[in-house]
Amino acid sequence: MIPNRHSRESGNPGFEAVMYLDSRFRGNDRSEMCSMNTKKLSEVERIKQESNFLRGTLSISLEDPITGAVADDDTQVSKFHGIYQQDDRDLRKERRQARLEPLYSFMLRARIPGGVVTPDQWRALDRLSRTWANGTIRLTTRQAVQFHGIYKENLRPLIRGLEDALLDSIAACGDVNRNVMCNPNPASDRLHREVQYWAERLSEKLLPASDAYREIWIDPERPPAPGSESGTGVRQAEPLYGPTYLPRKFKTVVAVPPVNDVDLFAHDLGFIAITDPGSTSGTGNDRLLGFNVTAGGGMGASHDDPETHPRLADVIGFCPPQALPEVAEAVVSVQRDYGNRSNRKRARLKYTIEDRGLGWFVREVQRRLRVPLEQARPFDFEHTGDRYGWTEEVGGRRHLTLFVENGRLRMRQMDGLLEITALAGGFRITANQNLIIANVAAGSKEQVDALVEEYGLDRHLRARPVRLNAMACVALPTCPLAMAEAERYLPELVDRVEERLAAHGLENEAITLRMTGCPNGCARPYLSEIGLVGKAPGSYNLHLGAAFNGTRLNRLFRENLGEAAILETLDDLFARFAGERETGEHFGDFLIRAGIVAPVAEGRESRLIQEVEYAA
Amino acid sequence: MAASPDWQPRLQQSLDPLAEQMSEQELLWASGYLAGVAAARGEHHSSAVESIPAAEAAAGEVLQIWYGSQTGKGRGVAERLAGEAQARGLNVELSDLAEISPRQIRKVKLLTLVVSTHGEGDPPDDAESLYEYLHGEQAPKLDRLRYSVFALGDSSYEHFCQTGKDFDTVLEKLGAERALARADADVDFEPASETWRTGVIEAFAEAGQAVQAPQTRLSVVPDSVPSWNRDNPWQAEVLASSPLTVAPSGKTVHHVELSLEGSGIRYEPGDSLAVWPRNPRPLVEEFLGFLELDETAPVQVNGDELPARAWLSERLELTQLTRPFLEQYAQAAHPDELKALLDDSGQLRAWIERHQVIDVLREFPAEWPPDVLFAMFRRLAPRSYSIASSPLATPDEVHLTVRTVGGWQDEQLRAGAASWHLNSGLKPGEHADVFLEPNKRFRLPDDMDAPVIMIGPGTGVAPFRAFVEHRKALGAGGRNWLFFGEQHRRSDFLYQIEWQRHLKSGALHRLSPAFSRDQEHKIYVQDRLREQGREVYDWLESGAYVYVCGDATRMAPDVEQALLDVIAEHAGIDAERAAEYLKTMKRQWRYRKDVY
């Protein structure tokens, strides 16, 4: 069924203005549409509407010599180009006293579907960071690369450098589909090539079509192409998104069981690769049958809004590989048409599904597909981590997965990786912010090992499992949303957690531990066995009881804990875990079985401290 | 004049409340004004003021006291001379060079000229036309003229007192008779001034003696020394001193706020505030240690006796080297090495900039009795800062924008005395000794609707902060355009937030910053002027006043050249006519500089 795109019939004239631009993209459910649009649109909706397909006044802002910032509205528009305006919050006070504006800089996220980059691209990323950013590279939880500390005048040269390396930052942020994730190291290389192909197809399919990116960053001198949106006002630029794009960010992943490294259930749209059960792992001949489709996952929540919460995605069916782009488009278009555009805190697909019901949602998606989704196929996930160290594939390809703490590569490590580019067939960024040196020839293995050791890239050999399974977002000092430290603080906290684990003989236990500086969930803290979500400097909410394989959310356990209280609470639980666990039982599962944490059946429960008395 | 006529108490009663509200400068002006009125009436209605003899009645020649200086020091010397000469019964006329026509000199018989020197030995703006006239082809014969020149300068510069020397020479060349040898006064000019004034009065006493009571025009110096001056500074409480620059800026610039509450000091945007420095404490300690001097040891210098520490911290110039000091020093120690240095003026200049007095003592050691050594030092002198605040925006306060000169080098402090004093020495609640130096040359236009272009790189932006605040407080309708320059936008954009607010509120209409080191090729304010030449010219054509403040050596000439180029290009005229255009602006007071 093809979405019905007839324009809206006469209705309440009061809604006309609001309805006009979205009407041709909407379905035919008039009553739904009307009720939704009686609410005032959020400010960002106005900005998108007025941005003329993501142009805003960015070109003028870039030339403004009085400030290192861009105009207020442009801070929203720039996100669609992969750029966030930030400032060094550590310096705010000093600069305010000096009558200087905040030290504005920009974070730029390069779009890297599936985290796959060539050696040449890696060299470019390295060089661009050293030349135009702060000389570090941050691997993100979405397998992208972030540059930090880019001053306004350096944005264009950096983006042109990406362009030269066949990379871009289009839609790496903003109310659009963001970087498409994909397992970068499944058991079979052939399978990787297949799923990676589809990940890239998805990425291209869901990219905004506006020419604004090229116009603003790459080629400002070139006149707009005839008939393009900026030249003639012909508004055909965004056949999928329309002029106001999506109500909120949209995240898409591809997972390859049995590894759930991408945290499949945390995303708006997911695809689980289903292979021929007769030919699983190791043989190199896995045949890709198709994908289970998942929808409605998401991490973000607000401390002060009980209507917000993380939610796990639902599995809604199965489709053959070729149907993937069409399915993606259908899901995106449902969210485009029905997502909440008045309250950004409840604008993700997860709330659209929650508010309207999963049945309605699946029907709406099916209605927009030529071939309906089939019954979902069985699958099983074991864990959410990476396969550290060397993995060798049939045919002699070798990949080395390195542990990169919180995804931050500093100068020395970058130096080492730069040397290694000569020996690698490529690099892959994992969903756990780690890095894979891919396709190393058999003869180069020792040389790579030597370089890895020389440049301190070999922490995967020494770090304890809890560190290898830990993640933090960037937080302070640059993230404007951060309420507490994360990346800068987690390493020390892990030191102390390790001590407590060791005290109970648990030092070799793999436990997922994730920390974020705010409740928005960049490091997916609600899916970790121990989740720490920042509330204020030095103060965190402690979440416990998620599944090790990413299939169950954790639950808020204690609020506003400082370090001492965190460690004390964990120490008690580690003691019980050490004494009462069953063989092979994970920490999160134990907490549930022992009744210490009540399982979260629905997302909204996750923010409720359980009523069960913890003392037993 | 009859003793205490009966109208006197009555008049005094009316004048006293008025006088009470007036600042020192206003009192000076008022006394001159009234004298002028009297003189004017004397010409036309002499019967009405028969008890006061008019100037014309004097048989003796009028001693002309002309002054030209940028900082107000010259005017101070000239005013004192006028007061003292008058007290001795001389008939004097005090004039600012800016207000006289150069050709007037042809009729003058007795002339004293007080002039300062700037930059590369250049005359101050006000003295420029007389300077050019006397050195030009139209220069008159002056064989009836007797004169003496008082030259103000700073011996840390190569062309010390050059303008005074030039005037002295050219006057003689034109046939005039030097009545008294020229005096060359250093930053610490008071001793030289006193000697010269006494000499002048002696030299001109006979010829300039008035038959009756003296009469002056325009301006006289009242008998009592006005309050809060160089010798009697106001002790201003430091309200705040905090950096305007942050790492990694190569500079330290502070915003300094001082209290004027209770001082009665009234200033206008454009004025300067002179600050008496104290030498940095670490430097004083270094001297005491190096000289192995007990801080309480009494030292006698030219008849004054003070403890060593007092000399070093409050009286002697320790942070600026001068050629005369080195010359004197060389007479007693290391003559050959120092002579080699002194003979190479290019090298000397650079050397003097990089070294302080203590470095000379360390590099060219000699046994000095403290009194001999101290006697060679120049006396500490006040430094002037362009005021960065408007009295309307922040009543009872005066703000300065102060760049710390020098700083720590290894373990030793090599900083400018005044800037260190204001930025690092004084803490809030402590007091700085200050006095006002009015600068009538650098005032906002009376026309509130006139557009204003302000060019102030670095700390040269200070008076423009005052200008913009003042015009905002006045509700002036004229447009304001600021050209600001520094090295880096992120670390040394002085008053960035304030400018952003002024732009938003409409108090500032345009801001064109030039950050020289934020891109590969350096960009300066003059480049911005050229870039926006079309609009700059349009502003000029609509009557804009142009103000330049900051570095005199390179910036001001570069800016002037840029203005000339802009005028030539956009008016479609040649360089000569562009120069005339600018000259006309100068005459109309529409092009003013406060450069140093």
Q: What ipTM, to 2 d.p.?
A: 0.83
Q: How far apart (Å, rounded) are the C-alpha atoms in residues B546 and B479?
A: 12
Query: Concatenated DSSP letters for A95-109?
Result: HHHTT----EEEEEE
CB–CB of B126/B441 below 8 Å? yes
Contact across the interface for B519 and A151, Cβ inside 8 Å: no
Give the number of A-B residue pairs with CB atoms closer than 8 Å: 45
Contact across the interface for A97 and B519, Cβ inside 8 Å: no
The chain B residue lying nearest A102, using CA atoms, is B490
CB–CB of A100/A119 below 8 Å? no
CB–CB of B176/B145 below 8 Å? yes
Give exposure, A340-366, as e/b (b: 16+ Cβ within 10 Å): bbbbbbbbbbbbbbbeeeeebbbebbe
DSSP A378: P
* Annotated catalytic residue A518: yes
Collapsed DSSP state (helix, strand, coil) of residue B115: strand
Mean pLDDT of A543-548: 97
Contact across the interface for A66 and B242, Cβ inside 8 Å: no
Give the CA distances from residue B63 to residues A69, A183, B59, B195, B217, in Å, rounded to whole numbers and listed in that order.
Answer: 63, 98, 12, 18, 12
Nearest one of B564, B238, B292 to B431, comparing CA atoms:
B238
Q: How far apart (Å, rounded) are the C-alpha atoms in residues B59 and B89?
A: 12
What are the residue ranges of helices labelled H in B344-488? 345-354, 357-363, 370-376, 417-420, 462-474
Q: Which residue has the tokens 């594939």?
A: A393
Which residues of B fall within a CB distance of 8 Å from A97?
242-243
Residue A491 has pLDDT above 60, yes or no: yes
Give the CA distances from residue A414 to residues A138, A226, A405, in Å, rounded to whole numbers and listed in that order.
Answer: 11, 44, 14
Q: How far apart (Å, rounded) are the C-alpha atoms in residues A586 and A462?
A: 22
Instruction: Give me the tens of pLDDT residue by residue for chain B, a chain 596 residues long.
Output: 444 446 565 666 666 666 666 666 666 656 655 554 554 444 443 333 333 333 333 347 889 999 988 777 888 899 889 988 888 888 898 988 877 778 889 889 999 999 998 777 888 878 888 998 899 888 889 999 999 999 998 887 778 899 999 999 999 999 999 999 999 998 888 889 999 999 998 888 877 765 444 444 443 434 333 479 999 999 999 999 999 999 999 999 999 999 999 999 999 999 999 999 999 999 999 999 999 999 999 999 989 999 999 999 999 999 999 888 999 999 888 888 899 889 888 889 889 989 999 999 999 998 889 999 999 999 999 999 999 999 999 999 999 999 999 999 989 999 999 999 999 999 999 999 999 999 988 999 999 999 999 999 999 999 999 999 999 999 999 999 999 999 999 999 999 999 999 999 999 999 999 999 998 999 999 999 999 999 999 999 999 999 999 999 999 999 999 999 999 999 999 999 999 999 999 999 999 999 98
What are the residue ranges of helices labelled H in A55-106? 58-63, 72-77, 92-97
Contact across the interface for B246 and A96, Cβ inside 8 Å: no
**Residue A350 backbone dihedrals phi, psi, to 5 degrees:** -60, -35
CB–CB of A198/A324 below 8 Å? yes
CB–CB of A247/A335 below 8 Å? yes
Cα B264–B270–B273 angle (5° rounding)?
50
Tokens of B502: 């002024």
Contact across the interface for A101 and B496, Cβ inside 8 Å: yes
Q: Does B511 touch chain A (CB under 8 A)?
A: yes
Predicted confidence at residue B29, as pLDDT, reads 56
Please name every residue paired with A146 in a beta bridge, in sequence order, or none if there are none.
A109, A138
Mean pLDDT of A488-499: 97
State the burial class of residue A161 (Cβ atoms within 10 Å of its Cβ: 0-12, 13-18, 19+): middle
CB–CB of A570/A583 below 8 Å? no
Tokens of B255: 């915003």
For residue range A397-423, list pLDDT tens digits in order. 799 999 999 999 999 999 999 999 999
Predicted confidence at residue A486, as pLDDT, reads 97
Query: Which residues make Cβ contacts (< 8 Å) with residue B466, sequence separation at least 6?
Result: B269, B270, B386, B387, B388, B389, B390, B399
Q: What sign does the CA torsion over A591, A597, A602, A606 have? A: negative
Residue A609 binned pLDDT confidence (cut-offs 50, 70, 90): confident
Collapsed DSSP state (helix, strand, coil) of residue B566: helix
Collapsed DSSP state (helix, strand, coil) of residue B257: strand
Find the catalytic residue in A55, A79, A109, A552: A109
CB–CB of B203/B85 below 8 Å? no
Nearest one of A101, A99, A102, A171 to A142, comparing CA atoms:
A171
Q: Looking at the partner chain, which of A99, A103, A151 has a beta carbon nearest the beta carbon of B244?
A: A99
Nearest one of B371, B388, B358, B370 to B279, comparing CA atoms:
B358
What are the residue ranges of helices labelled H in A170-305? 189-205, 212-213, 229-232
Length of chain B: 596
The chain A residue lying nearest B491, using CA atoms, is A100
CB–CB of B443/B268 below 8 Å? yes
Give the CA distances from residue A327 to residues A166, A206, A240, A331, in Å, rounded to whole numbers and listed in that order.
Answer: 27, 11, 13, 6
The chain B residue lying nearest A94, using CA atoms, is B246
Interface test with B, best of A63, A100, A103, A156 (most B CBs within 10 A): A100
Query: Which residues make Cβ contacts (< 8 Å) with residue A65, sequence separation at least 6?
Result: B489, B512, B513, B515
Residue A228 binned pLDDT confidence (cut-offs 50, 70, 90): low
Please name every residue paired with A86 in a beta bridge, in sequence order, or none if there are none.
A105
Query: Which residues make Cβ contacts (< 8 Å) with residue B332, sequence separation at least 6?
Result: B366, B368
* Amino acid residing at B326: L
Nearest one of B462, B447, B477, B436 to B547, comparing CA atoms:
B462
Q: How far apart (Å, rounded) are the C-alpha atoms in residues B412 and B408?
A: 6
Predicted confidence at residue A15, as pLDDT, reads 33
Query: Concatenated DSSP letters for A544-593?
Result: E---TTS-S--EEEEEEE-HHHHHHHHHHHHHHHHHHPPTT--HHHHHHH
Q: How far apart (Å, rounded) are the C-alpha atoms in residues B110 and B507?
A: 50
Over its C-alpha atoms, chain A yields an Rg (Å, rounded) of 24
Q: Does B209 touch chain A (CB under 8 A)?
A: no
Predicted confidence at residue A394, as pLDDT, reads 63
DSSP A298: B
Q: How far apart (Å, rounded) are the C-alpha atoms in residues B285 and B309?
A: 9
Query: Which residues make Cβ contacts (< 8 Å) with residue B186, sequence separation at least 6?
Result: B153, B154, B155, B160, B192, B322, B324, B378, B381
Angle between helix A358-367 and helix A349-356 axes, rounded to 10 deg: 110
Q: How far apart (Å, rounded) are the C-alpha atoms in residues A263 and A527?
A: 8
CB–CB of A267/A255 below 8 Å? no
pTM, two decimal places: 0.80
Q: Identify residues of A whose CB sits under 8 angstroms from chain B CBs.
A: 65-68, 91, 94-101, 103, 151, 153
Collapsed DSSP state (helix, strand, coil) of residue A327: helix
Collapsed DSSP state (helix, strand, coil) of residue A498: helix
Residue that wins the pLDDT comparison between A460 and A236: A460
Q: How far apart (Å, rounded) are the C-alpha atoms in residues B371 and B301?
A: 6
